[in-house]
Amino acid sequence: MENAPERQGEREESGMAQGGTRAPSGLRRALRRIALVLLVLLVAPYGLILLYAPGFVHPVSTLMLRDVVLRGGYDRQWTPFEKISPHLVRSVMVSEDGQFCAHDGVDWVQMRGVVQDALEGETTRGASTIPMQTVKNLFLWNGRFFLRKLLELPLALTADVVWSKRRIMEIYLNIAEWGPGIYGAEAAARHHFGVSAANLSRRQAALLAVSLPNPFDRNPAKPGRGLKRLATLIERRAGASADYITCLYP
């Protein structure tokens, strides 16, 4: 009988020890679940890159999904690459990514310049290629975030390996945002100029191209003086881009 209190105390201490491990164990399970979800989110885009390789697949972007939630929908009519005006293709390439045919998804020369500027405390300039913008629009989010850029680089390199240059440009021109709820070349051409993407003129194509960096503030149908000057520059460069665009028009 003398040992009974001791045994009871031992049981209580054991119970406290077991009870004390329940919370950490539950926390570990929760952390494992969170880690699994993050891993799936990190890996899923690479699977989608493979899924989006065939031409009959028409991808939607994260911004389109946002508009489904916030606006109830969006305007986009998928248009094959060959039915998009070469004027627009050339204008977008020289405006957004002049070395599109030469790099492997990332323009490392421009990227080194951005890193150097950041290390020196200077204002950084944009170095996003069309593959980088495409994977960002498809899988990531807008805004200047270092984490997003880290995720963007390997996705762009992978997309450049899996997709042809024509497929990259085709997807980009069908998911680019040209105004609130306006996505893709066809919807943009009809919304701003009342023509199909196939029938865009040189000037219209240049105006659409220079509006891409800020489609909410830059209206290609009603360009200001500055936008007109940019469009004139892009129109001239696009006309002289034959040597730089052979991966799209051999």
Residue 209: half-sphere exposure toward Cβ, Cα within 13 Å: 33
pLDDT at 106: 93
Phi-psi region of 78 (alpha: psi -120 to 50; beta: other; left: phi over 0): beta
pLDDT at 133: 95
pLDDT at 13: 47
Looking at 141-201, list the stretches that DSSP marks H as alpha helix, in order from N- to C-terminal side: 146-162, 165-175, 184-193
Could you read off the pLDDT tens digit of each residue along the chain, which spans 250 residues? Answer: 445 445 554 444 444 444 444 547 878 887 787 877 777 778 899 999 999 999 999 999 999 999 999 988 999 999 999 999 999 999 999 999 999 999 999 998 877 766 665 555 554 455 789 999 999 999 998 766 677 888 999 999 999 999 999 999 999 999 999 999 999 999 999 999 999 999 999 999 999 999 999 999 999 999 999 999 999 999 999 999 998 899 999 8
Structure tokens at 195: 């023509």
Q: Return contacts of 42-51, CB within 8 angstroms, 24+ apart.
A: 42/151, 45/135, 45/138, 45/139, 45/155, 46/155, 46/158, 48/138, 48/139, 49/135, 49/155, 49/158, 49/159, 49/162, 49/163, 50/162
